[in-house]
Structure 1
Amino acid sequence: MAVPLPIDMEYVTDILFRLLTTPSPTGCTDDVIRLCCAELERMGIRYELTRRGAIRADLKGVQSSPDRALVSHVDTLGAQVKMLKDNGRMELVPVGHWSSRFAEGARCTILTDRGPWRGTILPLKASGHTYNEEVDTQPVSWRQVELRVDAPCTNRRELEERGFNIGDFVSIDPQPEFLENGFIVSRHLDDKAGVAVMLGAAKAVVETGVPLPVDCHLLFTISEEVGSGASSVLHQDVAEMVTIDNGTVAPGQNSSEYGVTIAMADSTGPFDMALTRSLLSLCEAQNIPHQRDVFRYYRCDSASAIEAGNDIRTALICFGIDASHGYERTHVNALESLVRLLVLYMQSPPRD
């Protein structure tokens, strides 16, 4: 019988802040993985690292197999240096799928072989006193922005002398704000809020010692933003997997910044109906606020796991985010609702 557990939301918001302020664009996730490993060790949860650096952690249940998994991704959007330019600035390409519209004006850190440098991403025509109305009419694309590094660099040679190279990772400042009314505004809530929720649920289970019917694996993936996500991180006896990620709050969508958004389908097709309905039933039985949604332009760790040939049931539960892949916003109510649902799910019997 699944029972509600005490939820430490102070811990959830604290670890979310620490995750947000640890740079982790896809391909450069070692620091945030170390942070997650330290949290698992502190809670006494066994884990292993895959060859690529993702995490498989284990919460033991009464039955070992077939078991279940929760998954969230630690990697975020970012950029890489495409070219060192003759004007002493750098051309960029995106890491993950996001518009340069949201990169314009961003403060960032360039991660070079010799150490980090600070900089700003600017449109090619950034001075209103010079370009006048052309500032407003220039196209929106990654070819229309450049990175201005905060170093005395006026040409390509000076960039090279200071250690800048093609392929250097660029981490975008998250600028997190945790407001008194519960709103959380930051870049990279996708999916660091999901990671914080998963850690918060694990903490509740560990500290109460509640028995789990089957083993539950906590999976922290490192390449969801480029599509491969959970393709290689699963244990082979996992029968069902629940992904925690963002739900898009926008006209034409039913997601909300409050409660749990349960996805019925995304761009890769419907999620498993039996597993999804069991999650809906848990919300209804315990009065967890929730809504359903269907996403047209969205894929998650569930898709990569299925496409890799894993024979598993999958579902997707979300914290609603306004302005996804931009200046994102959610509410602490959504995170708390998700933690409540996850601790109930981990105690529930597996699907037949």
Structure 2
Amino acid sequence: MSYSYRDAAVLKTILERLKYLCAFPSPTGFAEPLADELEKRLSAAGFVCERMHKGELLCHLGGEGRPLVYSAHLDTLGAMVRTIKSNGRLRFAKIGSYPDHSVERENCVVHTASGLSYSGTVQFFNPSVHASKDASEAKRSDENLEIVLDQCVDSDTQCRELGIAPGDWISFDPRTVITETGFIKSRHLDDKAAVAVLLALSDAAADGSFQPKRRLSLFFSLHEEVGHGGATGFGSDVGEFIAVDMGVVGEDLSGSDTTISICAMDSRGPFDRKILRGLTAAAHSLNVDFALDVYPFYGSDADAALFAGNDLRHGLIGPGVSASHGYERTHCRALDDLFAVLKHYAEID
């Protein structure tokens, strides 16, 4: 099946931004350089930006109505060097939550404190099927997975001489692919697909094709994957906080990786009924296909905002993303529809 898109130029921009974002390493705790780059670009476009002490970025797009925040997170899953083994290989600790097997055989980069970077691969400690039956049968865990550096090292000392030490961040190769049929396959679509859409909204606001009636701000979180990204930093007068984050695709859900998803309830409880009505009405008015689902194993920056004590209504919408927290997939149609719904929602006061 092929799809027609509302604005090919906007979609092209979204995809260009998405490829750039996915290629920029930003595991939680290592995402400030990406926020710095976005702040430069948004400020150069004429928008007023603010930074929080812990790095989060707030960008004001304009508008005079009731304050509204769209939030997306720049931080991704990743890892950190835990121990340098005696054979020069690295034991790592996960940043964020993901199945151990999902990173096996993945290329990665170790980012040292001095600014040097070293490539490597996540491997089972004895990965050859010709050498061990455990290569096929053993359950993967942080005890038997390790990072094999692309360096001629076979000792702890040689590894440390490169400048590698416990506490160094590790990013995974996104392997971004956009197919001729419109599918986007990559790590970190959670949540860089949504970030790309919000940046396209800023482009539209800059050129005048988008004029929000709400006083709209974009909030770029750097700590969503560890639970506190949306806790603070967007202003006490904000009455609505909408997390723009991945929609879940899986068994017992109606979501698809070719459509947008609106979340009615996640693991923390129901989302605001008024916002749910507004988002679904916006989708209906644009003839956008969408899923309305309950996510039992999900949390977001919208939850963090409420649990931090902020007095606001909260919601969640995003592109459907399959294989979440692994090698993920979405579709150009979902990004095209998400842009249209977010734009329409902010144009109605």
TM range, smaller chain: over 0.9
The residue that corresponds to 1:257 in the other structure is 257
Matches within 5 A, 1:25-104: 25-63=27-65, 66-104=66-104
1:5 touches 1:208 (CA, 8 Å); kept in 2?
no
Deviations 1:208-257 (A, max 9, x none): 25543231110000000011111022211000011111112112111111
The residue that corresponds to 2:24 in the other structure is 22
1:5 touches 1:204 (CA, 8 Å); kept in 2?
no
Distance in structure 1 (CA, Å) of the matches to 2:333 and 2:32 = 30
1:100 Cα shift? 1.2
1:62 touches 1:211 (CA, 8 Å); kept in 2?
no
1:183 touches 1:331 (CA, 8 Å); kept in 2?
yes
Distance in structure 1 (CA, Å) of the matches to 2:12 and 2:71 = 22
The residue that corresponds to 1:305 in the other structure is 305
1:248 touches 1:321 (CA, 8 Å); kept in 2?
yes
The residue that corresponds to 2:246 in the other structure is 246
The residue that corresponds to 2:123 in the other structure is 122
2:248 touches 2:261 (CA, 8 Å); kept in 1?
no
1:312 Cα shift? 0.5
1:298 Cα shift? 0.5
- Gapped runs of 5+ residues in structure 1? none
2:230 touches 2:302 (CA, 8 Å); kept in 1?
yes
Deviations 1:33-81 (A, max 9, x none): 1232233134322111111111111022124xx4110000000000001
2:104 touches 2:122 (CA, 8 Å); kept in 1?
yes
Distance in structure 2 (CA, Å) of the matches to 1:62 and 1:213 = 6
Distance in structure 2 (CA, Å) of the matches to 1:220 and 1:210 = 20
Distance in structure 2 (CA, Å) of the matches to 1:139 and 1:212 = 51
Q: Using the TM superposition, name which of 4-13 and 275-284 deviates more.
A: 4-13
Number of matched pairs: 343
Deviations 1:176-218 (A, max 9, x none): 0011110000000000001001111222233225543231110
Distance in structure 2 (CA, Å) of the matches to 1:7 and 1:345 = 21
Q: What is the one-letter code of the residue matched to 2:96? A: G
1:318 Cα shift? 1.5
Distance in structure 2 (CA, Å) of the matches to 1:186 and 1:228 = 25
Distance in structure 2 (CA, Å) of the matches to 1:21 and 1:197 = 16
1:187 touches 1:327 (CA, 8 Å); kept in 2?
yes
Distance in structure 2 (CA, Å) of the matches to 1:206 and 1:6 = 18
Aligned in 2, Cα 1:83/1:287: closer, same or farther, shift over 3 Å? same
Distance in structure 2 (CA, Å) of the matches to 1:215 and 1:52 = 24
Distance in structure 1 (CA, Å) of the matches to 2:214 and 2:165 = 49
1:5 touches 1:343 (CA, 8 Å); kept in 2?
no
The residue that corresponds to 2:220 in the other structure is 220
Aligned in 2, Cα 1:147/1:211: closer, same or farther, shift over 3 Å? closer
1:35 aligned counterpart, secondary structure: helix
Aligned in 2, Cα 1:334/1:323: closer, same or farther, shift over 3 Å? same
Distance in structure 2 (CA, Å) of the matches to 1:123 and 1:155 = 18
1:7 touches 1:339 (CA, 8 Å); kept in 2?
no
1:254 aligned counterpart, secondary structure: coil
* 1:288 paired to 2:288: yes
Q: Using the TM superposition, name which of 278-287 and 332-341 deviates more.
A: 278-287
Distance in structure 1 (CA, Å) of the matches to 2:27 and 2:178 = 22
Distance in structure 2 (CA, Å) of the matches to 1:137 and 1:6 = 47
Matches within 5 A, 1:314-329: 314-329=314-329
Q: CA RMSD in A?
A: 1.5
The residue that corresponds to 1:192 in the other structure is 192
1:30 touches 1:53 (CA, 8 Å); kept in 2?
yes
Matches within 5 A, 1:135-146: 135-146=135-146
The residue that corresponds to 2:3 in the other structure is none
1:71 touches 1:218 (CA, 8 Å); kept in 2?
yes
Distance in structure 1 (CA, Å) of the matches to 2:210 and 2:23 = 32
1:7 touches 1:204 (CA, 8 Å); kept in 2?
no
Deviations 1:315-343 (A, max 9, x none): 10021111000010000100010000011
Distance in structure 2 (CA, Å) of the matches to 1:211 and 1:135 = 57
Could you tell me the TM-score, scaled by structure 1's length?
Answer: 0.94
1:130 aligned counterpart, secondary structure: coil
1:83 touches 1:91 (CA, 8 Å); kept in 2?
yes
1:26 touches 1:226 (CA, 8 Å); kept in 2?
yes
Q: Using the TM superposition, name which of 322-331 and 42-51 deviates more.
A: 42-51
1:256 touches 1:320 (CA, 8 Å); kept in 2?
yes
Deviations 1:247-268 (A, max 9, x none): 1211211111122211001000
1:110 touches 1:116 (CA, 8 Å); kept in 2?
yes
1:112 touches 1:163 (CA, 8 Å); kept in 2?
yes
Distance in structure 2 (CA, Å) of the matches to 1:226 and 1:261 = 23
